[in-house]
A and B are shown apart, each in its own frame.
Chain A
Amino acid sequence: MKRLKLTIIMIVLIIGVTSIVDAKLRVVVSYNYIADIVKRIGGDEVKVTPLSKGYKDPHFITPRPSFIAKMRKADLLIINGGQLEIGWIPPILKKANNPQINPGNKGFLDLFSFIEGIDVPKDISRAHGDVHPDGNPHFHLDPENILIVSRAIKDKLIELNLSKKEIFIKNYEEFSEMWKKKMADWRKLLEKFSGKNVVQYHKNFDYFLKRFNMKQLGTLEPVPGIPPSTKHVLEMIDIINNKGAEFIIHDVYHMKKPSQFVNRKTNVKLVVLPHDVGAVNEVTDIVSLFDEIIRRLLK
């Protein structure tokens, strides 16, 4: 009995001490691209834990019990928003028993709330597939939006740890300066595709295409989240043959067969593009994400 008591006291002490020693701001984020931005702005003052892996379909992350443990200890939860996490964050967030990171509280940040969504559906019905009522949630593939959300992340980190304000501002300014230079490079590299037609498998790259003036002819999915039907694929092939297209864009997690079929029938180049940090080996951070997308388009 005495030994049991002693063990319990020891455990409590160890837990208590570790939580005091670890003074870094603990940030849990849904996706890897957010983790990289937080690391760049927070530097050594934050400890970032991404929940999902970059090579997975962001709509269908398996809500693991270990996510509950991660959220339980978090000071801040940052989500992509736009209902991209609707299927997996709510139940684990509820089970984490961490009031600080609940929506509406100080430790919760929804990045989509800073973005002007595109493709906001007028008619919200699941007859149109996996619709997101606030618009397409894959906003982070527009590099301009990265600037907007990194500013929001900087402001949030300052709010949570005012004493490190200078560090966060300095890191943010360095990042945004570097980012603006990169954007100018990317714009130059993609100039030759301006006005060109593009087909996608899923509506992943709409923000990217819009930013760089590429025109979208349609998607191989008849409606978001519904696998391509033969009829719809044949229609898309007709459209491509009539109007011409530069690329068929495919992601890393869907089966490539339908896109390969269209590629064979039309001879339009099929490019598999990473959508997040970690989607392919070459993409290790937010900069190489865009570098790699553009390298693959130019290849």
Chain B
Amino acid sequence: MKITSYFIIIIALLITPIATFGGQGGSSDPFSQTKFVPAISFVMDFSYLNRDLGDFGSMGFEMPGFLPAGHTSGPLLNGEKGFNFNYAELSLFATVDPYFDLFTSFHLGEDFFEVEEAYVTTRKFPHGFGLKMGKFLSSFGRFNAQHAHTWNFQELPLVFRVFFGEDGLNEKGFQLNWVAPTDFYLSLGVELFQGENSTSFGLDEAEILNEDNGSEFEIEGADGPGLFVVFAKTSADIGDLIFLGGVSYAEGETRSISENGGNVLSGRSKIYGFDITIKYLIDSYRYISLQTEYIDRQFEGKFYEAGNPEGSEFSRSQAGFYSELVYRMSKLWRSALRYDLLNRNNILINGSGTILPEDMNRYSFMIDYSPTEFSRIRLQYNNNRYLYLDGNLKNFSELNLQLNFSIGAHGAHPF
């Protein structure tokens, strides 16, 4: 009798934990790891575009001195007239262990899945230092490190597009940053990157074939890491008036191969960036903000084309900026005005200059409505004066209705 009752009690004790597990949410798996699911967020961007210009792809548009024909065959975002599925962004982030946090952001198109960012940051570095390692958006300037869904306009500023391409300066490498123990904000950082950005940098070797006589020659590649960036950012408040300023410098190897492989630029590029943001907070929801970034690119090197294995001395000095004024009128409504200008475009080949346009510009205006922090409807108008066809400026305008939605983990309110 006694033994049987002990036996029953033991069996009951053994069963209880399993039974309780089964009762709670249907999982009877003692090895369940669902509690370790990282934070997940998903953003999607969809638009309707109208443009008073024919199909980008079939026509030989170029931005002389900046982007050759073929490179402008249509931007990644809002490429087509009519409906565009611009992108989806999937982010996963969590703490790895006591020493690291991991953040990933995947950029998804209708037929591509790419790693936009995947990096770890340190949790235990002392004295205000932080280390970031992996693939990530460089902290060069102000705009570059921001994700597309936090932009104030549908597309990147012109100067970023021509110097860093549609994806911005997004590289593999590491960043060491330091926050000074001062009363005002001061942060310094260095980044060492592979340097594969195809618009301003690049490491690849190239072969140029002379189709007339079949002779070919090789242009040496460069070893990675080929790019470094240094930056300093500082900020101060006067009541509800906030100033943020930064200076950045990027220098690296450049191997720029034209789309058809017919010519190659080989040398070094130096890029200087200056940014300033002034933001006035009117109340909890309303603000006015003015943001400007000026970027200057210098290149020294050689230009190779078929039949010229010695190469020509090539240098370019180019600069541009954008300036945007944002007014958040209420918790729900914002409007903004942006001016883009590429104001310097000097290219010297063997010491002699070519005549290139120096005032490629764009005016943009947008108004957006955000029912909540998680959804946004935006109407934007662009007046574009930067595309050339056979040496002639093609002025065109765009009207875009953009829808942006996010689900999952709460994103931070951007500054």
Contact = CB atoms under 8 A, between A and B. Distances in A.
Contacts of B235: 64-66, 69
A69 B184 contact: yes
Most buried by B among A69, A83, A227: A69
A65 B415 contact: yes
Given A68-B179, A69-B183, A227-B332, A90 B284 contact: no
Interface in B64-82: none
Contacts of B372: 126, 129-130, 225-226
A102 B242 contact: no
B129 A97 contact: yes
A161 interface: no
A283 to B, nearest CB: 17
A104 to B, nearest CB: 9
Given A68-B179, A87-B410, A97 B128 contact: yes
A80 to B, nearest CB: 16
A230 B121 CA distance: 48
A126 B373 CA distance: 11
A266 interface: no
Contact of A86 (B182, B185, B410): B410
Contact of A99 (B124, B179, B332, B407): B124
B345 to A, nearest CB: 34
B124 A65 contact: no
B186 A69 contact: yes
Contact of B287 (A62, A69, A83, A227): A62
Interface string B273-306: 0000001010111010000000000000000000
B402 to A, nearest CB: 21
Contact of B181 (A65, A73, A130): A73
Contacts of A267: none
A65 B284 CA distance: 17
Interface string B183-216: 1111100000000000000000000000000000
Interface string A251-272: 0010000000000000000000
B126 interface: yes
A69 B412 contact: no
A174 B334 CA distance: 49
Nearest to B330: A255
Interface residues of B, number: 44
Dominant secondary structure at the A interface: loop
Interface in B57-106: 101
Nearest to B239: A53
B369 interface: no
Contacts of B237: 64, 66
Interface in B134-185: 177-185
Interface in A13-66: 15, 19, 56-57, 60, 62-66
Contacts of A86: 410
Nearest to A59: B284
Nearest to A105: B123
B125 A99 contact: yes
A195 interface: no
B232 to A, nearest CB: 13
A170 interface: no
A102 B123 contact: yes
A271 to B, nearest CB: 20
A1 to B, nearest CB: 19
B374 interface: yes
Contacts of A126: 372, 374, 407
B415 A63 contact: yes
B392 to A, nearest CB: 45
B413 A62 contact: yes
Contacts of A72: 128, 179-181
A62 B281 contact: yes
Given A63-B413, A87-B412, A94-B101, 6 more contacts: A65-B185, A66-B184, A72-B180, A97-B128, A99-B126, A253-B284
A97 B128 CA distance: 5
Nearest to B124: A99
Contacts of A90: 412
Contacts of A91: 412
B185 to A, nearest CB: 4
Interface string A164-182: 0000000000000000000
9 contacts: A15-B180, A56-B284, A57-B284, A60-B285, A63-B412, A99-B126, A129-B372, A130-B372, A130-B373
Contacts of B331: 60, 227
Contact of A97 (B178, B186, B407): B178
A98 to B, nearest CB: 7
A69 B185 contact: yes
A96 interface: yes
A130 B373 CA distance: 9
B244 interface: yes
Contacts of A88: 412-413
A210 interface: no
A65 B233 contact: yes
Given A96-B179, A97-B177, A66 B185 contact: yes
A19 B128 CA distance: 13
Nearest to A226: B372
A69 to B, nearest CB: 4
B236 interface: yes
A295 interface: no
B226 interface: no
Nearest to A253: B284
Interface in B221-277: 233, 235-237, 242, 244
B413 A60 contact: yes
A226 B372 CA distance: 7
Contact of A68 (B129, B187, B412): B187
A95 interface: yes
B307 interface: no
A102 B126 CA distance: 13
A104 B331 CA distance: 34
Contacts of A94: 101, 121
Nearest to A252: B284
B357 interface: no
Nearest to A251: B284
Nearest to A98: B128
A99 B123 contact: yes
Interface in A73-93: 73, 83, 86-88, 90-91
